[in-house]
Chains A and B, each alone.
Chain A
Amino acid sequence: MNPTTAHPSPPTATASDPRLSRARALLEPVLGPTLKTSSFRDNLRIFVEPDQLLPALAALRDRGGFHLVELGGTDYLHYPKPSGSGKRFEVHYVLLNRDTTDRLILKVGVDPDNPSLPSATSLWPGADWLEREVFDMFGIRFDGHPDLRRILMPDQFTAFPLRKDYPLRGRGERHNFPRITRAES
């Protein structure tokens, strides 16, 4: 086996990347001619601002044929390097075009002082529970979401446990229950 085909060199987000040129053609009416991108192995990331998010997603969906396959959050609080957007939180939208098998990742930085983003449920109803999970774990609100409640943690829970400043063992929530003794039950 040819070792160069077994371990191909990682593609970079260069101008010669055909996926990038296709995405640029779709996003140019929304984001302008310059895209802020990064890449790791075959992941191609495009950074957008919160107010550009919905138009960019709509352009990729309506004219590019992309659909949403994953939506998640990240907290870069103690990360050694600054995040790609420079903000503490980032929300990523993994999009897939099943005709061209292009995968794109849109990343949005979220301001920790006012963590909110526009909801993508108007474009993809399937984003409903994914955004609820990001809200539950990171406390990022999605404006326009039809039913923004906690989805994993109980409703009485007050913290956002995947934030990096939340202790791993919690703040005693797991002990905050009445104790049923043999005499009482």
Chain B
Amino acid sequence: MDTEEKEDISREAPVQLEVDSISISFGGVQAIYNVSFQVRKGEIFSIIGPNGAGKTVTLNCISGIYKPDRGRIIFEGQDITKWPPYKRAEAGIARTFQKIELFSGMTVLDNIRLGRHVHLKSGLLSSSIYLGKTAREEVESRKFIEEEIIDLLEIEHIRNKVVGMLPYGLQKRVELARALALNPKLLLLDEPMAGLNLEEVEDMARFILDVNEEERWKVTCILVEHDMGVVMDISDRVTVLNFGQKIAEGRPSEVQQNPEVIRAYLGDVEDLYATRR
């Protein structure tokens, strides 16, 4: 892949999301401490780190499920630190979850339709009559879902199945579909590859690159992932967290050679000997 070219694009692009020294603690546990980074428009930005490093907490702070104790989060020039999650979704931040969080009683199509929630305008009265405005709006939204999302993610065959019955890999894909239905500007992906087999991982990586690069989408992605192969292949920049603190940031090749990162993942040589003895 032509990584050099992508680097240049991302360096010039304007900052879309700025995380400004956020900290959050749960009881006595300092989950993240003073983490800052900037995500530029159109890039794939990965957050990696060992288990418990605070990657998902960071993502939850960006999507609004947690509120940071200190620090600010700025999205497209607006300070969204105190916004509730639904307002952030309206602003264009969509996400997927580490542990699949689909609406298990609904069909695949209805799950994706819910992703269009912020774009639908019909209120209680016009919805209960379901003529004119609402019916038109539903058809338009359906057209978008079928032609842009279901077609892109290749889930035509399961659109009327109840999601609870689907295999894990497809559920992950439906979750991505639901997030894309929001037509997001920023997509937060929390371990999209976890638990997938090689073929599914390749598919998922292809979908992420598609929505990132295609002129139609151009979605900025923040990726939290343990599969280093994928992260190093598709990311423009990588941030490494360890015990809630940022220890490195840069292009994938730079991060791979960073001694701090190697120490975080493998431990000190002395430590290794100490534990073996």
A and B interact physically: no
Q: Taking beta carbons and an 8 Å cutoff, which residues of B are in contact with A? A: none
Q: Taking beta carbons and an 8 Å cutoff, which residues of A are in contact with B? A: none
